[in-house]
Amino acid sequence: MAMFHRISPSTGAGSPRVEGFYDKATGSVQYVAVDEATKTCALIDVVQDFDPRAARSGFDSASEILDFVRDQGLSVAWVLDTHPHADHLMASTWLKAQTGAPNGIGAKVRDIAALWADTYNLPQTFAPDRDFDHLFADGETFQLGDLEVRVMLSPGHTLGSVTYVIGDAAFVHDTFMHVDSGTSRADFPGGSSKDLWDSLQAILALPDDTRLFVGHDYPPVGDRKDPAWEASVADHRARNKHIGGGVSEAAFRKLRDERDATLPLPDRMLHALQVNLRAGQLPEPEADGHSYYKIPANKF
């Protein structure tokens, strides 16, 4: 079944076309950011399918996005993730193998890997420098065709989340939600509502007309039935449910911390982190040729 899909056209020179694809099973938004001048693109936060009841994974959704890329005559220059996701398995390594494009994520994934290696008691398992081609530092820039991509460290949801700013488009992952939904949780290991507030303020300091593309949506929201993931900096500053209209840091953090205390863990989280910290690769197969997840008992 085709995913729900929306296009955000380029606004002119230096501005990417952004194609968003919605994964209903996880509420995740996956992006294809296109440089119209060179017909190159980046794949951002693409999902690996996963059925938590059967612990079965696959790449039907990622294949649909690759089919779109090929139909559009695009060349994949980068496979990017904004952070090691807790609610879905990333398709990074598979996409790299399919396209030949390098994969990347933020440099502080090293610190996230150390934290979760302790949680899983897998001290030698996670090696981001081995599994990702590039770990981006805060403020680093790189090219997507003729477009420059700037990396912003945006911690809070995780300690190493990054935002990719490409012209007038910013891929802000699990910081903001859509304006009518608010912001993302900050209670996972290494998360912080203080860090999230600071990251939100840094994103709101971008130009007013910057298009912000969020990582998730969970409709229905109010009268809105379809998923939505794009709004401008000005829209969020004025109308965001949690932070718009001049909300104080203290009020935001109180709201965020109290809300987070009521939220259950995502149903894929303990499977997902041990895969995503290996760039979307399943645990190494054992003697019988099968991979096995390691799930910590009574730690959460």
Q: Write out pLDDT tens, residues 32-79.
A: 999 999 999 999 999 999 999 999 999 999 999 999 999 999 999 999
Report the distance separating Cα 4 and Cα 267, nearest Å: 22
Stretch 197-217: mean pLDDT, rounded? 98
Residues 292, 105: Cα–Cα separation, whole Å: 25
DSSP category for residue 280: T
Token digits for 153? 């460290």
Is residue 1 pLDDT above 60, yes or no?
A: no
Q: How far apart are CA 93 and CA 65, in angstroms?
A: 15
Give the pLDDT confidence score for residue 253 in this predicted structure: 98
φ/ψ of 78, rounded to 5, equals -145, 145
Express each pLDDT in 87-145 by its tens digit.
Answer: 999 999 999 999 999 999 999 999 999 999 999 999 999 999 999 999 999 999 999 99
Domains and CATH numbers, the chain: 4-265 (3.60.15.10)
Q: The whole model's pTM is what?
A: 0.97
Query: What 8-state DSSP symbol labels residue 129?
Result: H
Alpha-carbon distance 243 to 182, whole Å? 7
The residue whose two tokens read 């709201």 is 255
| Rounded Cα gap, residues 20 and 7, in angstroms | 6
Q: Is 106 helix (H, G, I), strand (E, B) or coil?
A: strand
Cα dist. 128→22, 102, 103, 107, 274 in Å?
Answer: 27, 13, 11, 9, 12
**Average pLDDT value for the chain:** 97
> What pLDDT does residue 2 have?
84
HSE-up (13 A, CA, CB side) for residue 73: 4
